[in-house]
Structure 1
Amino acid sequence: MAAFTTPDGITISHDVTGDGPPVLLLHGFPQTRAMWHAIAPELAKTFTVVTADLRGYGASTKPAHMKDMSFRAMAADQLALMAHLGFDQFHLVGHDRGGRTAHRLALDHPAAVLSLTLMDIVPTHLLLNDLTQQVARAYYHWFFLAQPAPLPETMIARDPDAYFQSCLAGWGGGMDSFDATALDAYRASWRDHDCIRTMCNDYRAAIDVDFDHDAIDLGQTVDCPALVLYGVDGIMGRAYDVAATWADRLLQVQSAGLPGGHFFPDTHPEETAKALLTFLTAQV
C-alpha cells in the first residue's frame, strides 16, 4: 500500500502494479480498492494498474464536511494522484460511486482521460430527476443515507456488518459469491465510524451538490472511447436500457451486459477482466 497527499490535504491510499499504459480503477459503495483483487492482476499483464481508495473510503482521508464528498472533489483527488505517479493521461474505469467519480473526472478534465469505462450506473442527474417507484424501492439507500446527521450514522453504527452486508447481498446475489479476503477489507472499512459518516455524506452530496453540477453540464459530452458495462441481473439492467441512458453523453460508446447483479466485478471477476482487456487493448 502507498499513500499520496493531495494539495488539498487529502491522503489517497493506493496500489500500483504492472507495466504499460496506465489504467486507474475506482471502486464503489460500500467497498474499497480491494474489489479489484482478482481483476487488477489480469490487467497488470498489459497495463500499469492503479487501484485507489476514494476519499471517505478504505484507508483514504475521511473529510469532515458533506460538500467535500462531492464527485468533483473525489475526481480532483484521483487526477492529482495520477499526475503524482507521472501519468498526465490514463484510461479510467469506475464502478458505482467510482463510476460517477470517473464520469465527473472526464467532464472536468477531458484531456486526461484516454478512455472511460462505467460499470452498472446510469447518469446521476437522470436517476434523481426521473426517479421511478421501482428504482426508489430498490435504491432506497440513496435517500436513507442522505437523511440529516446523525440519524443514518447512528442506525448503521448499531450493526454495520448487518446493514452493509444487506446491501451486498441485496444487489449482488448473496454473500457467498464475494471473496473472503475482499470482504474482510470491506468490513474493516465500514466498521470505522468516520467511514460511515463519510459514506452518508457521499450520498448527501449527490443530492445537494452533484445534482446541481450535473444540471449545469447536461449538454456536455465525453468524446473519448467509452464502455458501459452492467449486470444483466442487476437493478439498473432491469430498470433501464443502460446503454441508452448514456447515448447522448458519451459520443464513442459501446456497451455490454455481464453475468450477475450490481457487484459483478466481485462476483464475476473473470468475465469483467476479459471485457476490460478487450476494450482497453483496442485503445492502445
Structure 2
Amino acid sequence: MIAGFENGRAAVNGQEIAYSAGGSGPALLLLHGFPQTRALWARVAPRLAERFTVIAADLRGYGGSSKPKGAEHYTFREMSADQVALMSALGHERFHLVGHDRGGRTAHRMALDDAARLLSLTLMDIVPTHYLLSHLNRKVAAAYYHWFFLAQPAPFPEGMILADPDRFYESCLLGWGGATLADFDPGQLAAYRAAWRDPATTGAMCDDYRAAIRYDYDLDDADLSRRVACPALVLYGASGAMAKAYDVPATWADRLSDMRAAAIPGGHFFIDTAPEATAEALLDFLP
C-alpha cells in the first residue's frame, strides 16, 4: 500500500479500521477523501516518515475499513471517533492531523470534538461543510453535483454507478481541476479502482454523502461560534473547483484561530498530481 510501511487493521469504535504505519518521531495521522483510499499518500507519506511516525488510515466505508449500512453511521463525528480510537490503540495520545476532502471534513470535526488530542490541523481543498451547503452557487452546484446525486435515497445512485463504476469515479478524479488519468500513479489508481468496484464501498460512499446533508449540516450549525485553537494549515489546489468558486482561506478565517494558507499547483487531487509540492508544504508547516 505504502512502500516501507506496515499494514494493520484495528478493532476500534465498533469498526475495523485499516491503516498503514511507518517512520519515527511525533505522530501524524493522514486521512484521504472520496473516492480514494489511504493509497492517496503513497508518494507523500515516505517523505513525512523521515521526521514523523506516520499513520495513513482508511475512513470507515472506504478501502479496507468496515462498511456499515445506513447514513447514520457516516457522520463526520462517527468517522472522527474511529480515527481518535485508532490513534489511542496505536499508543498516540496527541498527534498532528492532515485530511483531504472527506478526510478533511472528518479532521475538522475531530478538531471540534477532540481538540486536546491535536498538535496541529491541516485541511486540504475543502471549504467548511456548513458554508458550502449554505452558500451554494451555480458554479459549485455544477462542479460538485455528486454531493446531491450520491445523497439520493438508495438504491438509485448505487445502481447507476455500479453499471460502470470506473467511468463514474474516474469522471470525479478528472472533473475538479484539470487532471488527466496520466497524472495519477498507476499503482495508486489501481488501488482506487479495486476499492470502488466493491458494491459495499459504493453504498458506503453514498451513505457518507447522505449523512452530510441529513446530519452533518445540523451538527456544524450548532458549532458555528466555535474556533479551532491549534495551529492550522489550509492547502488548496490553485486551479481546483473550490479555488475558482471561493476565496478558500477566507471561508476558514472565522473557524481557525491560528491559520496559514497556501495554494498547491493543480486541482482538487493535487496530492496525487503534485506529491513533492504537497510534502514540502506539509514539512514547512509541521514543527
Q: CA deviation at 1:169?
A: 1.1
Q: Distance in 1 between matches of 2:135 and 2:75?
A: 21
- CA deviation after TM superposition for structure 1 residue 112, in Å: 0.3
- 1:214-233 matches, within 5 Å, as 214-233=220-239
Alignment partner, residue 181 of structure 2:
175
Residue type of the partner of 1:243?
Answer: P
The unaligned stretches of length 5 or more in structure 1 are none
Distance 1:80 1:277 in 2: 25
> Any idea what the Cα deviations from partners look like across 1:143-168, whole Å, max 9, x if unmatched?
00000100000000000000000100
CA RMSD of aligned residues (A): 0.6
Q: Which amino acid aligns with 1:74?
A: M
Q: CA offset at residue 65 of structure 1? A: 1.4
Residue equivalent to 2:202: 196
Task: Please give the residue correspondences for 1:30-109 in structure 2 after superposition, counting only pairs within 5 Å.
Answer: 30-109=35-114
Any gaps of 5 or more consecutive residues in structure 2?
A: 1-6
Task: Encode CA deviations 1:107-165: one digit per residue, 9 max, x unaligned.
Answer: 00000011000000000000001100110010000000000100000000000000000
1:170 CA drift (Å): 1.1
Corresponding residue for residue 4 of structure 2: none
Number of matched pairs: 280
The residue number in structure 2 matching 1:242 is 248
Q: Which secondary structure does the structure 2 equivalent of 1:171 belong to?
A: coil
Counterpart secondary structure, 1:63: coil
Equivalent of 1:19 in 17, 24, 34: 24
Residue identity matched to 2:164: D
Matched letter for residue 154 of structure 1: G
Per the normalisation by structure 2, the TM-score is 0.97
* Deviation for aligned residue 1:9: 2.0
Structure 1 counterpart SS, 2:175: helix
TM alignment of 1:145-184, pairs within 5 A: 145-172=150-177, 173-184=179-190
Question: 1:275 aligned to 2:281?
Answer: yes
Q: Secondary structure in 1 aligned to 2:261? A: strand
